[in-house]
Amino acid sequence: MSTATLHRTSLFDRHVQAGAKMVDFGGFEMPLKYAGETIEHLAVRNAVGVFDVSHMGEVFIEGKEALLALQRLVTNDAARIKDGQAMYAGLLHEGGGFVDDVIVYRFSPTRFLVCVNASNQGKDFLWMRAVVAGAGLDCVVRNESDRWSQLAIQGPKAADVVATLCGERIRDIEGYHFAAMPVLDDEDAIVARTGYTGEDGFELYVKNSVAVALWDAVLRTGAVPCGLACRDTLRLEAGMCLYGNDIDEEHSPLQANLGWIVKLDERPPFIGHAALVAEKAAGVPRLLRGLEMIDRGIARSGYEVQDAGGTTIGVVTSGTQAPHLNKAIAMAYVARDHAAIGGEVHVVIRGKPLRARVVKLPFYKRPAATA
């Protein structure tokens, strides 16, 4: 893809001025790293970092039957969360595979924000609109992705940064909750205690017009600018899936170790419900597992997983040398019969089968707050 066709966020000039290495991600020209992926990764684990995640899409669903629309669209139960609460969910097709993985923010039973992946933005919007129209539901699906910028402020000191900018009341926002409140000159911003790093953190949704001022203000607090490279290693340590790597239209949430975002009972069925019920009854054929290398080597996306006899039993979907844990970790789909936690498998690295341990996800869990 030529750079001429790539989208840019409102912060593009800031990234270039800061000397960031820019890459194509999901159709956007985004910062891969500034000072370096390891430094940035450790800044988020130990203090606080800030990410431009304005490439993420924002789709609003509003109207009398908005709640019914969400119940039709996503695997998690939008009736079970309260106003001001968020939830992680799958947007599935009829076959049970992921159209996308999303975060749903509930303002009220008649107003929801669905945060979607950049690369899936167009597809998701058309899908949601078609489903709502097909069911004849009384609500509007609006793609506002071009109007919103999003900054993720992540790390044990994230609350201090956000409190400096938005006031002490943000400390009362619980995990996976949010508040509609002013941020700088944006009267209708959203401060959410969500993230994709495994740390405490916030995602600030603001209009494009205040993005640069907010970015500058966050950097003045000492937060370290962070790129997509460390976002990927942080989420992998935290055992979180990346759409296009670990989940896609071919894999269901039951396979992806995401049964906890699937509510099959006591709610109206979502699209893909029947497929998941059938998959559960038949037995899930493969499971997403954590792998830790025993032999010296790094498992990477696409590498084959074998049993001790050399039979193919799965494939690696993400893998790296984890900067904080300082060991080679990976996620892989493994045939159910070989997916037992604690078992040993082989990852084929440059033709050599190297030993790895099947481990429970996540690899990293942040220490409980002591304050």
Binding mask 249-288 for other proteins (x = CB under 8 A): ----------------------------------------
Can you spell out the DSSP letters for 279-301? HHHH--SEEEEEEEESSS----T
Q: Can you tell me which of 256, 298, 345, 358 binds other proteins, judged by CB under 8 A?
A: 298
Interface with other proteins, residue 300, by CB under 8 A: yes
Nearer to other proteins, 23 or 163 (CB): 23
User: Radius of gyration of the chain from Cα atoms?
Assistant: 21
Q: Is the dihedral of CA 292, 297, 299, 302 positive or negative?
A: negative
Local structure of 259: helix, strand or coil: helix
Local structure of 233: helix, strand or coil: helix
Contact stretch for other proteins (CB under 8 A) within 134-142, 172-180, 189-197, 228-236: 228-236
Distance CA 5, CA 246 (A): 27
CA distances from 25 to 153, 193, 224 (A): 20, 24, 21
Distance CA 223, CA 50 (A): 6
Q: Can you tell me which of 177, 226, 323, 330 binds other proteins, judged by CB under 8 A?
A: 323
Within 10 angstroms of residue 109's Cβ, the number of other Cβ atoms is 15
Distance CA 291, CA 272 (A): 29
Nearer to other proteins, 39 or 335 (CB): 39
Interface with other proteins, residue 320, by CB under 8 A: yes
Contact stretch for other proteins (CB under 8 A) within 109-117, 171-179, 180-188, 295-303: 295-303
Interface with other proteins, residue 324, by CB under 8 A: no
Peptide bond into 362 cis (omega under 30): yes
Question: What is the closest distance, in whole angstroms, from the C-beta atom of residue 52 to other proteins in the complex?
Answer: 18
Interface with other proteins, residue 229, by CB under 8 A: yes
Q: Phi-psi region for residue 21, left (φ > 0), alpha (ψ -120 to 50) or beta?
A: beta
Contact stretch for other proteins (CB under 8 A) within 12-20, 172-180, 251-259, 319-327: 319-327
Question: What is the closest distance, in whole angstroms, from the C-beta atom of residue 236 to other proteins in the complex?
Answer: 10
- Which runs of consecutive H residues, i.e. helices, occur in the chain? 12-17, 37-46, 66-73, 121-134, 158-166, 211-220, 228-237, 273-282
CA distances from 337 to 257, 292, 303 (A): 15, 19, 19
Q: How many residues does the chain have?
A: 371
Interface with other proteins, residue 232, by CB under 8 A: yes
**20-79 binders of other proteins (CB under 8 A):** 32-33, 36-38
Interface with other proteins, residue 297, by CB under 8 A: yes
Nearer to other proteins, 352 or 360 (CB): 352
Contact stretch for other proteins (CB under 8 A) within 53-61, 69-77, 225-233, 252-260: 225-233
Interface with other proteins, residue 237, by CB under 8 A: no
Distance CA 364, CA 281 (A): 32
Nearer to other proteins, 264 or 294 (CB): 294
Question: What is the closest distance, in whole angstroms, from the C-beta atom of residue 329 to other proteins in the complex?
Answer: 12
Size of the site for other proteins (CB under 8 A): 16
- Residues of the shown chain interacting with other proteins in the complex, contacts defined by CB under 8 A: 32-33, 36-38, 229, 232-233, 297-298, 300, 320-321, 323, 328, 350
